[in-house]
Structure 1
């Protein structure tokens, strides 16, 4: 039975699962039936952060344009252009055992592609969630349903994996940003062209 988290709640992933190294982070959402003149394309990204709360290099930003971290610790499983269907819309495989030593946190974000041009925002998104399951057994370890707290935001931080001593924990964040992917990149120290 997975742990269902509330906003701001933290839970250890590895304490009750010794030896856990390979997990899958699944993110999903449904789109309200508003006609915005275009389909919704939501994009998942992971920012691998140091103690400073920033990336140490551009390769620490894993997204549809950079699917694999050089260390092999984070692998984006591909861009879903529509969000149609049930279950996870996008997934990332995480290998906890090869995350570089200087990385202490991984933030999982979702942005709306071309949100301004398409007049779209997270207020038009329903049933957004992030979940983590054991890649080997398929057991779901935790789940966080974001609820409907958003209005005009075009980007959101769903949650964070972070290192606490020798264990990996998860923090349910659920905070929105205006300014889409560019705002997230600026926040996490990624230079955008």
Structure 2
């Protein structure tokens, strides 16, 4: 997929009810400073704002209160987030997936130094990859990136490749969607 492309997940995988969203990357090993990237998911209502602060899922809040979105934990090089599409409240319009570099400003790190970043959508039934977006190049100044989003289209679920960078880290992504940080 290319930036801005969309694919109907339910057309590719009829009966789809749950997915695993895998986000991955390679970081340089010769910088002298460790990179720590963190993935997150933000469930958004029809007004474009977070459904509730509990629906901002990241390393410090690994699960929504309704258990529809679960982060599997912080891992170097890749992280996974499970989304039970059938369990999401009906007024959640989309789920946005971002990756941020932890403590990027003090470490002088940006996505310009991150290579091979990707997001892929995997059907939890059977494990087949349904969609994948490879970020062709990282933003030289961005410290957080929205890689993609799952969104409703009537009764169907679609995935859109986003690739949008933010220079103020995870806080700027969270604030855009009205998360109290």
TM-score interval, smaller chain: over 0.9
Instruction: Select which of 151, 160, 173 maps to 1:171.
Output: 160
Distance, in Å, in 2 between the alignment partners of 1:112 and 1:63 is 13
Asked if 2 retains the 8 angstrom alpha-carbon contact of 1:133 and 1:141, the reply is yes
SS of residue matched to 1:158: strand
Distance, in Å, in 2 between the alignment partners of 1:128 and 1:101 is 31
Question: How high is the TM-score relative to the length of structure 1?
Answer: 0.91
SS of residue matched to 1:15: helix
Q: What is aligned with 1:86?
A: none
| Paired positions, count | 181
Q: CA deviation at 1:60?
A: 1.1
Q: What is aligned with 2:101?
A: 112
Q: What is aligned with 1:93?
A: 82
Distance, in Å, in 2 between the alignment partners of 1:11 and 1:171 is 7
Q: Structure 1: state its 5+ residue gaps.
A: 84-88
| 2:53 aligned with 1:58 | yes
Q: What is aligned with 2:65?
A: 70
Q: Please list every run of at least 4 consecutive aligned residues from structure 1 whose deviation after the TM superposition is greater than 3 angstroms.
A: none
SS of residue matched to 2:10: coil
Q: What is aligned with 1:147?
A: 136
| 2:124 aligned with 1:128 | no
Instruction: Report Cα offsets for 1:39-87 as digits up to 9, x if no partner.
Output: 100000000000111113210100011111112211100011x32xxxx
SS of residue matched to 1:101: coil
Instruction: Report Cα offsets for 1:82-131 as digits up to 9, x if no partner.
Output: 32xxxxx1001111100111101000000000001111010000000000
Distance, in Å, in 2 between the alignment partners of 1:55 and 1:156 is 17
Distance, in Å, in 1 between the alignment partners of 2:105 and 2:30 is 15
Q: Structure 2: state its 5+ residue gaps.
A: none
Question: How high is the TM-score relative to the length of structure 2?
Answer: 0.97
SS of residue matched to 2:92: coil
Asked if 1 retains the 8 angstrom alpha-carbon contact of 2:95 and 2:150, the reply is yes
